[in-house]
Structure 1
């Protein structure tokens, strides 16, 4: 459902206004050895997050920044909203007063108490490592959709996003950004570390793994499989509606309404293999080597089909 997301727009607007008054080296802070943007995350919020009581019917999306979480988040939110629309009173659906910023780690310290009072099903997104999530998520067996994307396109998309989003440090050149990406100086940490840590949960029955690329190849099948994983029962016609509304073109056209000023930055190209426009031969070799060393032989590494999507 392509409704305006007032909370999302308000939080992002305030963060961008605050960031515009700060120097580049003030934009990030470190927590447990990982960098986060100061205007959207805080130490107090991370501590308060532990008070969240996860539920077995929570719909959780985990993905590293620029892996496609806003796109897949739209699919999840639409699946839940479509299901609720036919099972609840219309007036109770999409109540703005119940809306929270969808990313778990972004908000104020009172967010988690409010979330504990929200009706099911709650749709939650996160860029966090599994060890930095509230323990109740695993204890209460909440289901997690883990979204992956080939590392070269993640880096490419992150570069453009950083230069278009004032809450993150910008980079004068792609070469400067590539060094930061490969030396673990990114907000939310190293992507290779992210993959390695989540790989420990790859066989968990409550974790479903999907790649950005396979969803691009067959969105209809991906939407159907996601709905089945979360136990969201919809008709073929209802599923097709979700598929159509989650096309990149549809989301880009509605981005100003759904995501405010950030819409044009979030929905830039939405393609595969854009990395070929930026990577030079040396950078290709360095990332290929890092992939081999950190993730190639793992379940998630094989799921990424690196040879298909990341070889020139």
Structure 2
């Protein structure tokens, strides 16, 4: 992913420029009861998305915002390059000839027509809940890597992200943000509902769930598991290369080339348990209660190891 991502960088720069001339109340719009950023999504794009035709060999990454989708995108892009006998990071990498923004719901309504011309395997990323994805994704039986992260760190990372990115409403205080996060006023919807909806698909053979924390704990094993799921054989040398290139330090260092000015906002800490610097006791208990009500006891709930990562 070191090659300059002109489409992506251009899209972000354009969105930031547009957001700078908008009022805070104009930054978001609602579609089917969920908020989205006006500068990168549109009702027209969502309408066009319904007719998107997924392919059986599409490589799909699903994750809520601030769960680590950019990190896993790096890993998957490199794995696809290896599967095509290409060198990760080279000009001949994935979709180099006809680059398209991989986030499915981001961009103009014509992108899906352009995507029909992309060579397989296409790499697709989405923050959408399953019920808002095009039906063809599930009909095609394409493999989906579902990425989840402990909710307290998601909220913490999201707070800093909102305050760094002009395309999203900013917050004067963490308390204000926390209130909105718990009242389902976030872009891409409520995280607990997101987990709850995806949990209905957790047993499907073509869906593999991985947590941000487990990849952080053992990157080599995480990469190995992802490669196995997508049927990509790796040599020890290739494995180490992917792990190295997807380290936080390496991605941050290359972020100017891969993400432009957006990289400074995107790559902040990349750690675990940063929530302890923001949550007060009452907020911590409120989130514990929400977790219990929505997702504890389910397959995804257990996978998150909530007691390990979210209890002080």
Give TM-score, length-normalised by structure 2: 0.97
**1:28-82: per-residue Cα shift (whole Å, max 9, x none)?**
0000000000000000000111222111111100000000000011100111112
Question: Which residue pairs with 2:18 in the alignment?
Answer: 18
**1:153-180: per-residue Cα shift (whole Å, max 9, x none)?**
0000000000000110000000000000
CA distance in 2, matches of 1:6, 1:311: 42
Question: Which residue pairs with 1:303 in the alignment?
Answer: 303
Question: Which residue pairs with 2:171 in the alignment?
Answer: 171
CA distance in 2, matches of 1:167, 1:102: 19
Question: Which residue pairs with 1:28 in the alignment?
Answer: 28
Question: Which residue pairs with 2:76 in the alignment?
Answer: 76
Could you tell me which runs of 5 or more consecutive residues in structure 1 were left unpaired when the two chains were aligned.
none
Q: Counterpart of 2:134 in 1: which secondary structure? A: coil
Q: Counterpart of 2:84 in 1: which secondary structure? A: helix
CA distance in 2, matches of 1:67, 1:54: 24
Do the aligned partners of 2:61 and 2:125 also contact (CA within 8 Å) in 1? yes
Q: Counterpart of 1:254 in 2: which secondary structure? A: helix
Do the aligned partners of 1:85 and 1:93 also contact (CA within 8 Å) in 2? no
Question: Which residue pairs with 2:256 in the alignment?
Answer: 256
Aligned residues: 310
C-alpha distance 161-93 of structure 1, shift in aligned 2 (>3 A):
closer
Question: Which residue pairs with 2:277 in the alignment?
Answer: 277
Question: Which residue pairs with 2:191 in the alignment?
Answer: 191
CA distance in 2, matches of 1:276, 1:86: 42
**1:218-274: per-residue Cα shift (whole Å, max 9, x none)?**
000110110111112222211211111000000000011100011011110000000
**Misfit runs of 4+, over 2 Å:** 90-97
Could you tell me which runs of 5 or more consecutive residues in structure 2 were left unpaired when the two chains were aligned.
none
Q: Counterpart of 1:169 in 2: which secondary structure? A: coil
Give TM-score, length-normalised by structure 1: 0.97
Deviation at 1:91, TM superposition (A): 7.9
Deviation at 1:15, TM superposition (A): 0.5
C-alpha distance 280-95 of structure 1, shift in aligned 2 (>3 A):
closer
**1:115-147: per-residue Cα shift (whole Å, max 9, x none)?**
111110111100000011111110010100000
CA distance in 2, matches of 1:109, 1:299: 35
Do the aligned partners of 1:145 and 1:209 also contact (CA within 8 Å) in 2? yes
Deviation at 1:2, TM superposition (A): 2.2
